[in-house]
Amino acid sequence: MSNALAGRKVLVVEDESLVAMLLETILEDMGCIPVGPVSTVDEGVHKAENEPDLDLALLDVNVAGREVFPVADALAKRGVPVVFSTGYGEAGLPEKWRGANALQKPFSEAAVRDAMLNALGVARA
């Protein structure tokens, strides 16, 4: 089985340290290169605008009491696909982002993989 995610640079914006560590481990297990995790919206925007060669981003919707959408907007300008993670699923996203890839917390490794492949437009085997 080829791994369509191997070598992909994935920005992680997540303020809960245990979730951030879990995502980092999941990404490394899939052969991805985690960027971050970063725990503030401002740091996320900086990475979104300046980190070279990003393939994808995993964004917690609520980061330290702020919504992550400025990070998503910066990534969208660069054409970088995003996967939102939220306790509310897609229903927790504002109208502008409805239809975006969303993971409902708590999530499994398989759910993360499937959401990432979907965001990248890669068919699952």
> What are the extents of the domains in the chain?
9-120
Domain 9-120 has CATH 3.40.50.2300: yes
Q: What is the pLDDT of residues 4-45, one digit of tens each?
A: 999 999 999 999 999 999 999 999 999 999 999 999 999 999
Please give the backbone phi and psi of residue 76, each rounded to the nearest 5 degrees, phi first.
Answer: -60, -35
Q: Name the more confident of 62 and 88.
A: 62
Q: Residue 16's Cα: distance from chain center in Å?
A: 14
- Which of 97, 63, 67 has the alpha carbon at shortest distance from 82? 97
pTM: 0.94
For residue 88, pLDDT beyond 80: no
Please give the backbone phi and psi of residue 49, each rounded to the nearest 5 degrees, phi first.
Answer: -85, -25
State the Cα–Cα distance between residues 94 and 106, nearest whole angstrom: 20
- Calculate the CA dihedral of residues 39, 41, 42, 48 and round it to 10 degrees: 90
3-state secondary structure of 34: strand
Q: Name the more confident of 53 and 99.
A: 53
